[in-house]
Structure 1
Amino acid sequence: MAKDHDRIYADFREVVNMAPAELETFLDSDKSKAVGQKTGGSGESVGHASGRRIIAIRRKKKADLTDDDYAHMNKVVGYVHRHLKQGGPDKDVEHSPWRYSLMNWGHDPLKD
């Protein structure tokens, strides 16, 4: 289990390239709230809720992460990899729903 956690932690740190404060600012924007699949009648998209969870995870020490945290981290890695494989728009990636959706999950595809 520790090996799985180490792999998930490393993969998560690789795909989540937005700092907690940067992600928090983005989640407060209309761009963030305009994208994603909304479920459960809350009005909040799955990705937006994930972004809030990512911030909480990133602010924890590694030793304090729970199995549930690792499960969410693994979900984030899977989502980002799948979304990147789909590819973004040919034009105006910077202002695209594709980019904003990824950013809700902590990954800005325009960052190096």
Structure 2
Amino acid sequence: MARQQRVEPEVEQLWQDFHSRVNVSSEQLRSWLLTQGSGEEAFGADPDLGLPERGRRILAVLGKRKVDLTGGDIEVMRETVAEIEDLLDTRPTGGVTDEEWRRALLDLGHDPLLER
């Protein structure tokens, strides 16, 4: 009989928060990051070519099961949730345009135009 692995309640809540804030699929996020990194819509042979480190780390977490999370993954989830919440709380005024604000959120896997 296989032993079921348990996840700490704090990690369970963080997992739910992360997946509710990151509201685009891993494929959508990868496409966005590749397009942003290359400045064009062409993709190279290496699927991670040109992806920023933060984006790669978010994509790695999206590809994992809860029971496989590492301490580093948990930190990525915490940072991502906090940064998305900060950006959502500070809608642009002054020098930052709505488009720049949306792009910053999209870099983290959150599209403010999507309702979840």
TM over 0.5: yes
* Residue identity in the other structure for 1:57: V
* Residue identity in the other structure for 1:7: Q
Runs of 4+ in 1 over 6 A off after TM superposition: none
Correspondence 1:20-59 to 2 at 5 A: 20-30=26-36, 48-59=52-63
1:85 maps to which residue? 89
TM-score by length of 2: 0.73
State which structure, 1 or 2, has the greater radius of gyration over its C-alpha atoms. Answer: 2
Unaligned runs of 5+ in 1: 35-43
1:5 maps to which residue? 11
TM-score by length of 1: 0.76
Q: Following TM superposition, by how much is the alpha carbon of 1:68 offset from its aligned partner in structure 2, in angstroms?
A: 1.4
Is 1:103 paired with 2:71? no
* Residue identity in the other structure for 1:109: P
In the alignment of these two chains, the number of paired residues is 97
Look up the SS of the partner of 2:72 in the other structure. Answer: helix
Unaligned runs of 5+ in 2: 1-6, 40-49
Q: Percent identity?
A: 29
**Structure with the largest fraction of helix:** 1
Provide the rounded CA distance (Å) in 1 between the counterparts of 2:24 and 2:38.
17
* Residue identity in the other structure for 1:53: R
Q: Pairwise CA RMSD of aligned residues? A: 2.5
